[in-house]
Structure 1
């Protein structure tokens, strides 16, 4: 049977402003197949603008026939964008989403991979905003997500430093001046691939 992959998130997961084939979940599947891992097309539950609360609500209403062999979670940027605080309530929401992701992975935390939050403060879209404040807030939300992932026993991959390379390389941004380009997503996949390969080959999560 093909290996099943569920990607949970927001605009970064659906690949807003690039073609579906250039989104990082689809690129990851292509790279895994090239390594001989028979991964089915990804099941994606994500939409532009979703916060943690909206993703949780979507999971509640989306028929998802688990378990999945790999579940990824990339969420939180819209909580920050809307000015929501990185407080106890947010930490509860991210823990809840992680518990849902683990349940969808058959109750196995080692099959869940959490991605850090990209730093959109470096993009042209943020040119008229308080960039240092955005970056600081992103760092706080990402730290909360990382702590929750570690607490739950899920894997973590830090793509935030890569996202900041867009400050000096416009080719890493899509035409909308905000979202990543296919090239940026390809760089993310380079970081995600070893972890995903280890999970799907049954070797657990490497450090």
Structure 2
């Protein structure tokens, strides 16, 4: 009997997915791949992380990212929209379009949320965070992780000197925290 083909898991994201500032093999995608392998999961990560990308950039390159025919997807976008103070309605439109395209292909999705930097004000912060929560509520089939950097943001010991991007310890904490949601996502991929 032939071994099952690994599940192709797309990670569509920005610098947090791409492993900005980290040595090769220490970013989110390779560390998640290693954690899944250690748990006996047959997965091939498809790294579609581009540093500096906005939700508009992610939407623009979604068709390119689909070339390897992913069977599941993690969508980690929005941080750069918040850093640039882009209108939350624009972020919402772009993410909704990404989620709709993935749903049309019957690709299960894990959507990760993001928070806006506090210097943009409380109103902007609430409106920005609501984008992710609203999209998840409207799409009950989407697995939702409310804040990608939960337990890492603001902790100098877990971040690079820029205070934005996780260091290797931060990535390990992130992967350990999000692993159950990723495994739930993989369990939604039809077998055979």
- Contact 2:110 2:185 (C-alpha < 8 Å) held by counterparts: no
Would you say 1:11 and 2:15 are equivalent positions?
Answer: yes
What residue in structure 2 maps to residue 82 of structure 1? 84
| 1:161 counterpart (144, 150, 157) | 150
Instruction: Measure, in 2, the Cα distance between the counterparts of 1:10 and 1:134.
Output: 23
Aligned residues: 184
| 1:114 counterpart (107, 111, 115) | 111
Structure 1 unaligned blocks of 5 or more: 122-130
Instruction: Measure, in 2, the Cα distance between the counterparts of 1:132 and 1:83.
Output: 10
Structure 2 unaligned blocks of 5 or more: none
Q: CA deviation at 1:118?
A: 5.4
What residue in structure 2 maps to residue 172 of structure 1? 158
Q: Which structure's residues are more often helix, by fraction?
A: 1
CA RMSD of aligned residues (A): 2.5
- Contact 1:173 1:181 (C-alpha < 8 Å) held by counterparts: yes
- Contact 1:101 1:112 (C-alpha < 8 Å) held by counterparts: yes
Matched position secondary structure for 2:43: coil
When residues 164 and 136 of structure 1 are mapped into structure 2, their CA distance, relative to the original with a 3 A threshold, is farther
TM-score by length of 1: 0.77
Matched position secondary structure for 1:73: strand
When residues 37 and 145 of structure 1 are mapped into structure 2, their CA distance, relative to the original with a 3 A threshold, is same
What residue in structure 1 maps to residue 26 of structure 2? 22
Matched position secondary structure for 1:4: strand
When residues 11 and 147 of structure 1 are mapped into structure 2, their CA distance, relative to the original with a 3 A threshold, is same
Instruction: Measure, in 2, the Cα distance between the counterparts of 1:59 and 1:20.
Output: 24
What residue in structure 1 maps to residue 52 of structure 2? 49
Q: CA deviation at 1:161?
A: 3.4
When residues 43 and 139 of structure 1 are mapped into structure 2, their CA distance, relative to the original with a 3 A threshold, is farther
Q: CA deviation at 1:175?
A: 3.8
TM-score by length of 2: 0.82
- Contact 1:14 1:20 (C-alpha < 8 Å) held by counterparts: no
| 2:131 counterpart (126, 141, 144) | 144
